[in-house]
Amino acid sequence: MLKQLVCGALFLATLVQGTIFERPCRTDVAVVQDFQVDQYLGLWYDLEHYEASFEQNTDCVTAEYSRYADGSIRVFNSAVRLTDGLLYAVDGLALLSYPEAEVLEAKLNVSFYGAPNDESNYWILDTDYENYSIVWSCEPIGEERSLEYYWLLSRTPALPEDEELREKIEILKEQNGIIDDELIITEHFAEG
């Protein structure tokens, strides 16, 4: 029976493919304080990310954030599937994780397909709202392992040619334990 449970758990782990680390979720991760939601809205291009099952075999990945009539945040993700060249898109919902906090933190509860979500699973570690955003999420797998997600987002299909900005992003990634060896680079093809 134990062998069947272990095999079943391993099978499920392959279905929920993300980047698994042999470390617990970090608790010392800082996020943007005094988060300006309306400045964050709009189109973002995924430049690099950790492996995630919902982004496998895709390029031209974007996320567009806008407001629903009730004030919640619409998350519209799209990508081109490399297997057939078709556009894949999904609509989601984002809510502030702690909307009543005295200082609004950049922590969101994001869900797709109408599923409820009471987990704070989209943390914006840093953004200047105009050029880049560093997003991270972590789900514990027991006490000593974690399933982590990371995205470097940009307002344009490539970061600006700004060495200071690029250096800042590299420092932030290092400070937050983002491992370059695990990154998937997203291509954005020219239109036309």
pLDDT 10s digits, 121-176: 999 999 999 999 999 999 999 999 999 999 999 999 999 999 999 999 999 999 99
Number of domains the chain contains: 1
Q: What pLDDT score does 191 carry?
A: 52
Three-state secondary-structure class, residue 182: helix
- Residue 118 domain-assigned (yes or no): yes
Domain containing residue 73: 19-185
The residue to which tokens 């680079």 are assigned: 185
- Residue 116 domain-assigned (yes or no): yes
CB 60 within 8 A of CB 188: yes
pLDDT at 1 over 70: no
Identity of residue 116 = P
- Residue 9 domain-assigned (yes or no): no
- Residue 14 domain-assigned (yes or no): no
Please count the other Cβ atoms lying within 10 Å of the Cβ belonging to residue 58.
Answer: 21
Kindly report the CA angle at 170 between 142 and 104, in degrees rounded to 5? Answer: 65
Q: What pLDDT score does 10 carry?
A: 35
Tell me the C-alpha distance between 89 and 81, whole Å: 10
97: left (phi over 0), alpha (psi -120 to 50) or beta: alpha
Chain segment 93-117, per-residue pLDDT in tens: 999 999 999 999 999 999 988 887 8
CATH label of the domain that carries residue 28: 2.40.128.20
The per-residue pLDDT of the chain, averaged, comes to 86
- Residue 192 domain-assigned (yes or no): no
Q: What pLDDT score does 6 carry?
A: 33
Tell me the C-alpha distance between 170 and 168, whole Å: 5
pLDDT at 15 over 60: no
pLDDT at 3 over 50: no
- Residue 181 domain-assigned (yes or no): yes
Tell me the C-alpha distance between 84 and 94, whole Å: 29
- Residue 191 domain-assigned (yes or no): no
Tell me the C-alpha distance between 112 and 10, whole Å: 24
184 contacts: CB under 8 Å, gap ≥ 6: 48, 49, 50, 51, 55
CB 147 within 8 A of CB 24: no
- Residue 166 domain-assigned (yes or no): yes
